[in-house]
């Protein structure tokens, strides 16, 4: 059906001139492997054609599958460009939903990765400066609609019936420039690494919303290096990735400069803490605390030494005081106060915070926001399907759409237009 022609040009008749460029776009999409495996049941539509139609939906800004189906019915030229036979029934909403729900996520990832390889071959993507971030993908459940009356709306133990795969997460919004607001939602989170110079996504993984971003950093970068073998110079990220394990991985394994914003919670050095001549901390009651040994904090990947209240652990002080002289509340609720101090070397001492190089590199992190803006512009944050696999596939197709436009622009010597997602095809004159 790719070779279908019409005696009368529908583009001219219906005044849909931009559609002629979709053929050029889809010529750069290698998705033939999707139709190799035969399907059972009803006579299947070409998976390659279904994928093209969903890319068409993204570029046209159609928010729902119903609108996509109506567009294909009302515009035969669009259906032909996607590879459908207009003399036969076109796919229904259910066929598109089934494609997103049952399509192998790995098969779509192959297409996305191949697009990245093509862009690397054209020297569009270098991978020298990478930035990592994530975005929320709320599920279509009544719990996310604050106008509905739902008991225990954001309780972790209450899984939404409308999307059992969705999990509870948080997203940060800024109603005003200086005000931050944290919102809860049920859904998923798309973890994305971008080429910070060209502002193109090079890796993407969708996970339930309760998967912490810092846990995804090392696995994602291992996949990136196994596939592309980038010579990375710097890695950018916000404070949520400021952990010792991540910083060590960037420096020791990636051989790159970490440009991660400092998280104040990881840099507190307890400035009001005083020490005795023997090196033990002094508590609020002006008593020398007792050393209870050291331990390894697996969560923070560091070694700490713990000091405890002497009134509970020292007979010397126990006979002198009935209660804590400072009336510390923990004296009654637990065995007094305690202090844990890091005793190994902090990897952050090797990072040139505040240098001109650090400030210049970390500015590239703002490119992540623009990449997400383009992905949202092709409806990635508003999936018309439910279920983890369907949402994951829908997110991958949004990334494929962005990369396919970039590749088409690059192949036609228009590298300055690789980020013009929706305006490229209508204004493209080959």
Looking at the chain, the number of H-run helices and the number of E-run strands are 15, 11
Enumerate long-range contacts of 105-108, CB under 8 Å, 24 or more apart. Answer: 105/389, 105/392, 105/393, 105/396, 107/33, 107/34, 108/51, 108/393, 108/396, 108/397, 108/400
Strand ranges, E, within 299-392? 302-308, 338-342
CA 415 to chain centre: 25
Is residue 1 over pLDDT 80? no
In a domain, 27, yes or no: yes
pLDDT tens digits, 213-223: 999 999 999 99
Q: Which residue has the tokens 């109603």?
A: 175
80 and 158, same domain (yes or no): no
Please, is 348 exposed, middle or buried when counting C-beta atoms within 10 Å of its C-beta (0-12, 13-18, 19+)?
Answer: middle
Is residue 13 over pLDDT 50? no
Report d(CA 89, CA 28) in Å as an integer: 27
277 and 324, same domain (yes or no): yes
140 and 234, same domain (yes or no): yes
384 and 238, same domain (yes or no): yes
Domain boundary pick from 103, 137, 172: 103
In a domain, 411, yes or no: no
215 and 271, same domain (yes or no): no
Mean pLDDT, the chain, integer:
87
- Specify the pLDDT at position 14: 43
Tokens for 163, please give them: 């999307």
In a domain, 183, yes or no: yes
Cβ contacts of 268 within 8 Å, gap of 6 or more: none
Is residue 52 over pLDDT 90? yes
379 and 254, same domain (yes or no): yes
Composition of the chain by helix, strand, coil, percent to 5: 40, 20, 40
In a domain, 410, yes or no: no
Report d(CA 145, CA 143) in Å as an integer: 5
Sorting pLDDT into bands at 50, 70 and 90, what band is 304?
confident
- Specify the pLDDT at position 311: 85
CB 253 within 8 A of CB 148: no
In a domain, 254, yes or no: yes
Question: Residue 206: which CATH number?
Answer: 3.30.420
pLDDT tens digits, 333-376: 888 888 888 777 778 888 888 889 999 999 999 999 999 999 99
Is residue 257 over pLDDT 90? yes
325 and 193, same domain (yes or no): no
Number of domains in the chain: 3
**CA dist list (Å): 3 to 7, 69, 75, 84, 127:** 13, 22, 17, 11, 38
Sorting pLDDT into bands at 50, 70 and 90, what band is 11?
very low
- Specify the pLDDT at position 158: 86
CA angle 30, 67, 32 (to 5 degrees): 15
Query: For residue 382, how many C-alpha atoms fall within 13 Å in the half-sphere facing its CB?
Result: 12
Sorting pLDDT into bands at 50, 70 and 90, what band is 37?
low
In a domain, 234, yes or no: yes
Q: What are phi and psi of 111, to 5 degrees?
A: -65, -45
| Helical pair 367-377 and 388-411, crossing angle rounded to 10 deg | 110
Tell which wins on pLDDT, 38 or 124. Answer: 124
Mean pLDDT throughout 33-42? 65
Sorting pLDDT into bands at 50, 70 and 90, what band is 7?
very low
In a domain, 3, yes or no: no
**CA dist list (Å): 114 to 117, 315, 389:** 5, 70, 21
327 and 271, same domain (yes or no): yes
Is residue 5 over pLDDT 60? no
209 and 94, same domain (yes or no): no
Instruction: Work out whether the CA dihedral 3, 4, 7, 8 comes out positive or negative.
Output: negative
Sorting pLDDT into bands at 50, 70 and 90, what band is 42?
low
Sorting pLDDT into bands at 50, 70 and 90, what band is 43?
low
- Specify the pLDDT at position 4: 52
Q: Which residue has the tokens 């997103």?
A: 100
Mean pLDDT throughout 189-208? 96
Is residue 18 over pLDDT 90? no
Q: Which domain holds residue 19?
A: 10-103
Is residue 274 over pLDDT 60? yes
- What DSSP line would sit under 179-229, residue for residue? EEEEEEEEEEEEEEEEETTTTEEEEEEEEETTS-HHHHHHHHHHHHHHHH-
- Specify the pLDDT at position 265: 63
143 and 209, same domain (yes or no): yes
In a domain, 289, yes or no: yes
175 and 244, same domain (yes or no): yes
136 and 226, same domain (yes or no): yes
Is residue 181 over pLDDT 80? yes
Mean pLDDT throughout 232-252? 93
Report d(CA 428, CA 421) in Å as an integer: 12
Question: pTM for this one?
Answer: 0.83
Is residue 56 over pLDDT 90? yes
């Amino acid at each position: 059906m790719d070779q279908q022609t019409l005696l009368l040009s529908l583009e001219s008749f219906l005044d849909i001139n931009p559609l002629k460029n979709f053929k050029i776009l889809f010529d750069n999409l290698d998705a033939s492997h999707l139709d190799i495996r035969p399907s059972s049941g009803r006579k299947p539509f070409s998976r390659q054609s279904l994928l093209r139609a969903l890319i068409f939906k993204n570029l046209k800004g159609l928010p729902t599958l119903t609108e996509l189906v109506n567009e294909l019915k009302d515009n035969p030229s669009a259906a032909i460009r996607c590879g459908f036979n207009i003399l036969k029934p076109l796919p229904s909403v259910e066929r598109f939903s089934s494609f997103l729900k049952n399509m192998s996520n790995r098969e779509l990832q192959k297409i996305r990765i191949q697009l990245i390889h093509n862009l690397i071959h054209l020297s569009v993507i270098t991978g020298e400066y990478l930035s990592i971030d994530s975005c929320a993908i709320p599920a279509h459940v009544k719990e996310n609609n604050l106008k509905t009356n739902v008991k225990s709306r954001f309780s972790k133990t209450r899984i939404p019936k409308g999307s059992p795969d969705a999990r509870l997460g948080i997203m940060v919004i800024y109603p005003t420039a200086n005000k931050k607001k944290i919102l809860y939602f049920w859904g998923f989170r798309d973890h994305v690494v971008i080429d910070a110079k060209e502002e193109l996504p090079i890796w993407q993984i969708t996970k339930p919303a309760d998967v912490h971003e810092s846990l995804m950093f090392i696995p994602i970068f291992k996949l990136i290096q196994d596939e592309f073998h980038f010579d990375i110079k710097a890695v950018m990220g916000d404070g949520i990735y400021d952990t010792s394990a991540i910083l060590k991985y960037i420096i020791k394994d990636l051989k790159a400069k970490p440009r991660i914003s400092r998280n104040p919670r990881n840099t507190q050095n307890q400035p009001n803490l005083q020490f005795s001549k023997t090196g033990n901390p002094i508590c609020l009651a002006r008593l020398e605390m007792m050393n209870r040994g050291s331990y390894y904090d697996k969560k923070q990947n560091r070694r700490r030494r713990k000091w405890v209240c002497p009134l509970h652990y020292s007979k010397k002080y126990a006979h002198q005081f009935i209660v804590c002289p400072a009336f510390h509340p923990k004296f009654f609720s637990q065995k007094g106060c305690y202090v844990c101090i890091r005793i190994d070397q902090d990897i952050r001492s090797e990072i040139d915070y505040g240098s001109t190089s650090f400030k210049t590199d970390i500015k590239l992190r703002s490119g992540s926001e623009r990449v997400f803006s383009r992905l949202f512009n092709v409806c990635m944050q508003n999936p018309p399907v439910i279920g983890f696999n369907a949402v994951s596939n829908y997110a991958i197709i949004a990334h494929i759409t962005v990369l396919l436009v970039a590749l088409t622009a690059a192949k036609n010597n228009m590298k300055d237009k690789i980020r013009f997602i929706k305006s490229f095809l209508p204004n493209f004159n080959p």
